[in-house]
Chain A
Amino acid sequence: MIGKSHLSMKGVLLSGGTGSRLRPITHTGPKQLVPVANKPVLEYAIEDLKEAGITEIGVILGHKGREEIQDLLGDGSEYGVEITYIVQGNPLGLAHAAGCAKDFVGDDDFVMYLGDNILKQGVVDLVESFESGDHGAGIALQEVDNPQQFGIADVDSAGNVTELIEKPDEPPTNLALIGMYVFSPAVFDAIERLEPSWRGELEITDAIQTLLEDGYAIDSHVVEGWWKDTGKPEDILEANQLVLEDKSLRKEGTIESDATVDGRIELHETATVEDGAVVRGPVSIAEKTVIKSGTYVGPYTSVGANSTLDGVHIENSVVIGDSIIEASGRIVDSLLGKGANVGSADEFLPEGRRLIVGENSQLKL
């Protein structure tokens, strides 16, 4: 039931990590704040928790992006939730992160949500499935094609987990753990008994395995809709596609009379599509952004705030914001960081591309 309130269910939202696979985008901020369809990934998680009736949320902070995350989420009141910040510091593993939330959680159950994950169907079903019986934990699973590369769960006919296996050579199922969990407070006792793994981390799968060995029933819930871990640039683009495909988009901005706009478009009330521009949805265009004459914005593109697109052909791309893009070429499958500008080299001699590119940037020319 949507909006049902769980008197004894809290949320723990993980927002640490280095974001190394998203450099250079993450040189200036945490990966959880990269926008998908013009909204930071972390906000989707907050909304999902709220939809499941969870309004007391502990946000776990690592070393990176502490201030930016607090700046965005504040005390949670703008989202109708109450946020407590929990500084984990060293990335000692998911079970360590959960353990840092012990005093916040108290005697309640809690959903643990990885803040860089985004999933179509939210966590309502996961929570209901967990609450339907006396479970020590509940895990979200999704069918994958390459189970050898995931943490895999074996489940019995009632959906109870019988075994967890990390990257098995001979997987008993193709059901992978996707980083959404519900825990009873019994997990804290299990975490206290854990030792760091070979990589020096307290592993959440070891905590669940300990609960199993202690005789707790572990519920499983197979997530049917799409799910994305947005750790890499291509994942951001794919998540952007999936969200734009599903989201209801509102056209509130200015579309001049000789502009061509079709498909579903989200256009902020302060954004403008000028005469001679072509926009084909699904597309999201954020505040104060201008699409000028001769520009083509194609499907699955999100353009962030305060940007100007002039003469470019862009599709299946995410422009985070504060950009001026004036080149006449085609930009496809691209992720442009905040304040990144793309100009034209057409009138310069000698002919050639002129780049001022930050550390860890990736270009295909």
Chain B
Amino acid sequence: MQIITHACTKCGTIVSANELESNRVMKCPGLGCQNVVRFDDLPADDREHFIENRERYDI
């Protein structure tokens, strides 16, 4: 199973695609980081793959 992640450009905290997708737009979970991270920050291919296989990333 492909595991997709995104690194915050400000603090380097890495966020999984399932976390990004469930929030769509979120404050970076890095403590004290004010950056906003979005599911749309992921490359288009990754987003497409994730949405096509979404049920496998749920629990």
Question: A: which residues have CB within 8 A of B?
Answer: 58, 61, 66-67, 70-71, 84-92, 96, 99-104, 191-192, 194-196, 200-202
Output the residue of A58, A91, A100, A101 with the most chain B CB within 10 A.
A100
Asked whether B12 lies within 8 Å of A99 as measured between CB atoms, the reply is no
Chain B residues lying within 8 Å of A104, measured Cβ to Cβ, are 14
Asked whether A87 lies within 8 Å of B59 as measured between CB atoms, the reply is no
Task: Convert B28-54 into 0s and 1s, putting 1 for each residue whose CB lies closer than 8 angstroms to a CB of A.
Answer: 011100000000000000000000000
A101–B18 alpha-carbon span in the complex (Å): 14
Chain B residues lying within 8 Å of A96, measured Cβ to Cβ, are 1, 3
Closest Cβ neighbor of B37 among chain A residues:
A87
Asked whether A87 lies within 8 Å of B19 as measured between CB atoms, the reply is yes
Chain B residues lying within 8 Å of A89, measured Cβ to Cβ, are 15-16, 18-19, 22
Asked whether B3 lies within 8 Å of A85 as measured between CB atoms, the reply is no
Asked whether A86 lies within 8 Å of B22 as measured between CB atoms, the reply is no
Asked whether A196 lies within 8 Å of B56 as measured between CB atoms, the reply is yes
- With an 8 A cutoff between CB atoms, is B25 at the interface? no
Asked whether B15 lies within 8 Å of A87 as measured between CB atoms, the reply is yes
Chain A residues lying within 8 Å of B31, measured Cβ to Cβ, are 67, 70-71
Output the residue of A85, A99, A202 with the most chain B CB within 10 A.
A85
Q: Please give 11 more A-B residue pairs, beta carbons under 8 A apart, in addition to A87-B19, A90-B57, A100-B5.
A: A67-B31, A70-B31, A86-B16, A90-B22, A92-B59, A100-B3, A100-B16, A102-B3, A103-B14, A104-B14, A194-B1
A247–B57 alpha-carbon span in the complex (Å): 42
